[in-house]
Every structure is written in structure tokens, then in C-alpha cells.
Amino acid sequence: MIYIFIAISLFISIVLSALIIPRILVVAFRKKLFDIPDERKVHSGIIPRLGGISFVPTILFSLAFTTGLRYLIGYEIAIDSLHFIVPEFYFLVCGLTLLYLSGIKDDLVGLRYRSKFVIQIIAASLIPLSGLWINNLYGLFGIEELTPWLGIPFTILLTVFIVNAINLIDGIDGLASGLSSISLLTLGSLYIYYGQWIYAMLAFSTLGVLLPFFYYNVFGNVDRCKKIFMGDTGSLTLGYILAFLAISYTNNNPERAPYSEGAIVIAFSTLIVPMFDVIRVILVRARNHKGLFDADRNHIHHKFLDMGFSSRKTMICILAMALSFSIVNIILASVINNNILLLADITIWIGLNLWFDKIRDRKKKKIYAKSTIDRG
């Protein structure tokens, strides 16, 4: 029966999102609320970036309606789980509200990065305030249990990092929503496996809202005013939900799920591409003595575009990479030490990026040589 409730939450999110997005498009074009192309952006034409406005209301409605329906039918949440589920989800809603409102302001009139960062830290602090924080590294770097003095600040920093990673990876059509969908599907399935139904419902409610958005974002026709971006409203709240689900899966709590040595690697392997990409970009900027928050064209999707891939093919390749990382890590987590698995992930990521750099540089040399010949 519980599978039906998860299916209902997914269905409600899909339907509501499909109904809301066309109306957002109408309002955006009437009020001329567009994302204007520049030298860094790969799209052309005027496209609204308010798609993320539909995310939080749809997710909360779907989750609340399905949970209420569960209670009416008699499938109540176990009483011994309520003492951690209730504060976690209440504070989750508080954090989402802060990021949702700041995202709307940023998408409409702009918001200074310092203000956004402060709001993100406050929202991130609400997760450990609810009692949810990373309390075990499962032997990663030789560390097992974490004290609150270490685990809580680490959880806050990691949440802010994931929120920004999703925001920064949102550079081409379908990439942020596609990567998030893979993570949500993976984490949602893992929660079903461990019988953590309320977390699974959150994952699939969020997945449901992304499916219609993905269609409009990837396949929408600009000339027919059917294309839309998620904007900061969408990427920030999406990153926050993903961070919450990953941290919850990582949290070592016997009342939540049995101890699993590979929990931390499995949880965050679903976010390897956006997380590793941001780390690499920051390191490259530091090496080149550039501002860490200065915009550039050095993200993974920019590399694929510079190699000659179309936006659609770039999106598909990166999603395939993310899915591969998730599947391989889940399979190997039970048989390989966490440190070895993390080292392998880092090595593969570095190797792939070096390979991409060679292809990109070769492509640029060919273009330069051809232009030189044409001028001659």
C-alpha cells in the first residue's frame, strides 16, 4: 500500500507542475521577466527563468496531501519515528522558505551575493538545529564518529556547498534538473529499500515536479514561448532538498536505518558531478589567481561545448557520467573500503577532465589553424 502513496505523491507533483509552468510562462511574457543572453550563456532568445517558482509549493502540497491521506486510511507514521521526523521536516520547510523567497528576489530584481550567502548559511543551520547532522564518516579518512562540535559545522558547510553546486551546474538545458533527477531517483529508491517512506515520498515528490520542467526546459520551443529556466528559485531549493536527503541517508541512527559502512559514499556519489566540478573550478581559479567567485567558462558543460558537442549531447553525456558514478559506487560500496572508493572516484574524475582538456585544446588548435589558412 505504501508504494501507492509514493506513486500518488509523484503523480500529484507531475500534474501540478504541468499545470503551473504554462501559467508562469504567460505571466513572465506579459510582465517581460526574461533571462537575457550574454557572452557566458549558451542560449539565444529571451527565456523566462521563473520555472523554480513552481517547485516548493508543488512539493509541499504533494507531500502534505499524501501524508494526510495516509493518516485518513490508517497508514500512520510509526510513533517511535515521529520524534526525529517532525522536527526535521518542519525545519526543512523553514529552510526551503528562506531560499525560495531569496531566490524569487534574485530572479526578479537581483540579490547581492553576500546576502544570498548569509541566507544560505541560516537555512543550512536549520538542518542540524532539527537534530539531523553528519555524525559518522564511516571510516573515511580514518574517522568514524563525529562530535557535534565537528559534525554540525561540517553539515552546515556541506549543505551550503551542495546548494551552490546545483546552482552553478545549471548552465545548459536539462543539466541541473537531469542531475537532480538521477540523485532523487537513486536516493528515493534507497529510502524505499530501507523502509523510510516519508523520505522516499519527499524524493519522489521532488522528482515529479522536475519531469514537466525538464520537458519545457529541454524541448520547449523558444519561438512559441514554451521554454523556461528554473532560475535561482529552483536551483537553490532543489540543492537544499538534495542536501537534506543525502545528509539524512548519511546520518547514523539505528531508528532510521541499520548501520551501513558505505552510507556516506553512496549518498554523495549521486552528487559527484556537481560537487567535483565546483571543487575543480575553484582550484583552477585559485591556480590562475582569479577570484573564487568570478564567473568563467571552465565548468564541465563548457568543456563539452568547446569540444564541439551540442547542448543536448553535452547534457546527455554528463547525465550518463553521473548515472555511472552512482551505479558503480552503490555496487562497490559493500565490497571496497570507503577511502579506496573515494580515491578511485577522484582519480577517474581527474583523468576524465584531463582527457577532455586534450580534446578541447586539439579542437581549438584546429579552429585556429583553419582560421589562419582562411585569412592567408
What is the predicted pLDDT for the residue at 293? 65
Q: Is 164 annotated to bind ligand?
A: no
What is the predicted pLDDT for the residue at 375? 60
Burial of residue 87 (number of CB atoms within 10 Å: 0-12, 13-18, 19+): middle
Burial of residue 105 (number of CB atoms within 10 Å: 0-12, 13-18, 19+): middle
Average pLDDT over residues 193-218: 95
Beta bridge partners of 35: 47
Average pLDDT over residues 24-51: 71
pLDDT, one tens digit per residue, over 66-88 is 999 999 988 888 788 888 999 99
What is the predicted pLDDT for the residue at 371? 64
* Higher per-residue confidence, 351 vs 2: 351
What is the predicted pLDDT for the residue at 57? 96
**Rounded Cα–Cα distance for residues 289 and 283 (Å):** 10
**Which of 29-33, 191-195, 266-270, 361-365 is predicted with the least confidence, judged by mean pLDDT?**
29-33
65 has pLDDT over 80:
yes
What is the predicted pLDDT for the residue at 224? 75
222 has pLDDT over 70:
yes
Beta bridge partners of 47: 35
Per 3-state DSSP, the chain is made up of helix, strand and coil in percentages (nearest 5) of 75, 0, 25
102 has pLDDT over 80:
yes
What is the predicted pLDDT for the residue at 58? 97
- Assign residue 45 a region (left: φ > 0; alpha: ψ between -120 and 50; beta: otherwise): left
What amino acid occupies position 140?
L
Q: Band of the pLDDT at 338, cuts 50, 70, 90?
A: very high
Scanning the structure block, which residue is given the C-alpha cell 588548435?
Answer: 365
151 has pLDDT over 70:
yes
Which grid coordinates are listed for 224? 512559441
Q: Band of the pLDDT at 284, cuts 50, 70, 90?
A: confident
Q: What mean pLDDT, rounded, does the chain reach?
A: 90
What is the predicted pLDDT for the residue at 43? 45
Q: Band of the pLDDT at 171, cuts 50, 70, 90?
A: confident
135 has pLDDT over 70:
yes
What is the value of pTM for the model shown?
Answer: 0.93
Average pLDDT over residues 285-290: 81
262 has pLDDT over 90:
no
Q: Is 167 annotated to bind ligand?
A: yes
